[in-house]
Amino acid sequence: MKVYARITGTGSYLPEQRLTNQDMVERLAARNIETSDDWIVERTGIRSRHFAHPDSSSSDLAFQACRRALAAAGRKAADVDLIVVATSTPDMVFPSTASILQHKLTLAALADGEERGAAGCPAFDVQAVCTGFIYALTVADAMIKTGAARCALVVGAEVFSRILDFNDRTTCVLFGDGAGAVVLEATEHEGHGSGILAAEIHADGKHREILCTPGTVSGGQVLGDPTLKMDGPAVFKLAVGLLDAAARGAVEKAGLTLDDVDWLVPHQANIRIMQSTAKKLKLTDDRVIVTVHDHGNTSAASIPLALDQAVHDGRIQQGQNVLLEGVGGGFTWGAVMVRM
């Protein structure tokens, strides 16, 4: 018998405040910066994004997504024995957003009259920017396969609105806030059943400067620029090739072919990158889950947000082969082949 890590529930959360492209046009006009709905839609596919309330942090967004994922899986916080949060916008320098999330889940469980929450289980963050959820899923899968965990919460949560430079129109219109989560549980079966079939993650730090937030905290002060910098065209060029290679790698490792892929759930950065990748993989557009129009680029949250939406609207069904793939700062990239 082989152990597989199966997705038994998904959940997501978008903050209430939704800003349309027209809202961004007005925001930027107040700074004498020009942009337009036409430019944003044509170049990126984005029509709106959500910004979290100033009092709300990544762990708050993650909490909402996790409660929904646990409910979908029919699990309670007390069942969880591992929490992995992918984020580049953590609540604090330390402790981890995962630890803060764990406590919020525990308090909510106790308030619901449950005997205990998730306290005591390991909880940690992974930082791979927009590939963060792929990294988190890969780590949790490995821990489940080795028997170190049986029921994991794997989360992507971001408040990128906090690190945007609203004087830079080439980046500030692209990103948004949100969270997505899955419950990943151990299951034993012969051969290929449902669960994560293959995962592959990569990094190459030589490209670190084309997508980064270079500031840091030292001596009680922020040193350097703490806002996001991106050479969009350079990222675009690299992204398509790396996503193609990672996707093919994960499919092959799973012993499948691209014809076996029912759905591609790519990182939601730009509709043109998603379409170019799908074309290279010879996957028709109707097999690609796209949600970028609704929430922009939410970095580590974007893949689980898209996955949850497609599970809930009934497109992604049990038994189907779903290819998740991401690329982001680092440079990092990777893909996960999962049978639902």
Which positions are annotated as active-site residues?
130, 267, 297
Residues 109-168 that bind ligand UT7 (CB under 6 A): 130
Q: Judged by CB under 6 A, which of 20, 56, 170, 276 binds ligand UT7? A: 170
Residues 58-117 that bind ligand UT7 (CB under 6 A): none
* CB proximity list for 285: less than 8 A, separation 6 or greater: 275, 278
Question: Is 171 strand, coil or helix?
Answer: helix
Q: Is residue 229 involved in binding ligand UT7 (CB under 6 A)? A: no
Cα–Cα distances in Å, from 223 out to 39, 42, 164?
34, 36, 16
Instruction: Give, to the nearest 10 degrees, the angle between helix 37-44 and helix 21-29.
Output: 130
Residues 257-296 that bind ligand UT7 (CB under 6 A): 269-270, 273
List the structure tokens of 196. 């994560």
Query: Of 13-21, 38-46, 86-94, 307-315, which part binds ligand UT7 (CB under 6 A)?
Result: 38-46
* CB proximity list for 161: less than 8 A, separation 6 or greater: 49, 51, 52, 175, 176, 177
Closest separation between CB of residue 41 and ligand UT7, Å? 11
Cα 10 from chain centroid (whole Å): 12
Contact of 128 with 203, CB cutoff 8 Å: yes
User: For residue 26, is it left (φ>0), alpha (ψ between -120 and 50) or beta?
Assistant: alpha
User: Strand runs (DSSP E) across 101-234, as ranges?
Assistant: 123-126, 151-159, 177-189, 195-203, 211-212, 216-218, 221-223, 229-230
Q: Is residue 21 involved in binding ligand UT7 (CB under 6 A)? A: no
Closest separation between CB of residue 194 and ligand UT7, Å? 29
Fill in the per-residue mask, 305 to 334: x = in contact with ligand UT7 (CB under 6 A), - = not in contact.
----------------------xx------
Q: Is residue 297 involved in binding ligand UT7 (CB under 6 A)? A: yes
Closest separation between CB of residue 58 and ligand UT7, Å? 16
Q: Which alpha helices (H) appear in the chain, and where do they start and end?
A: 21-29, 37-44, 58-73, 97-111, 132-145, 169-172, 232-253, 271-280, 292-295, 302-312
Residue nearest to ligand UT7 according to CB distances in the complex: 232
Q: Judged by CB under 6 A, which of 163, 239, 288, 300 binds ligand UT7? A: 239
| Residue 25 or 107 having the CB closest to ligand UT7 | 25
| Residue 154 or 239 having the CB closest to ligand UT7 | 239
Residue type, 202: H
Q: Is residue 48 involved in binding ligand UT7 (CB under 6 A)? A: no
Q: Judged by CB under 6 A, which of 236, 276, 287, 315 binds ligand UT7? A: 236
| Residue 297 or 309 having the CB closest to ligand UT7 | 297
Q: Judged by CB under 6 A, which of 235, 254, 338, 340 binds ligand UT7? A: 235
Q: How many CB atoms lie within 10 A of CB 233?
A: 10
Closest separation between CB of residue 302 and ligand UT7, Å? 8
Q: How many CB atoms lie within 10 A of CB 238?
A: 18
Q: Is residue 14 involved in binding ligand UT7 (CB under 6 A)? A: no
Cα 38 from chain centroid (whole Å): 27
Q: Is residue 303 involved in binding ligand UT7 (CB under 6 A)? A: no
Query: Of 51-59, 70-78, 148-156, 228-236, which part binds ligand UT7 (CB under 6 A)?
Result: 228-236
Contact residues: ligand UT7, CB under 6 A: 35, 39, 43-44, 130, 169-170, 173, 232-233, 235-236, 239, 269-270, 273, 297, 327-328
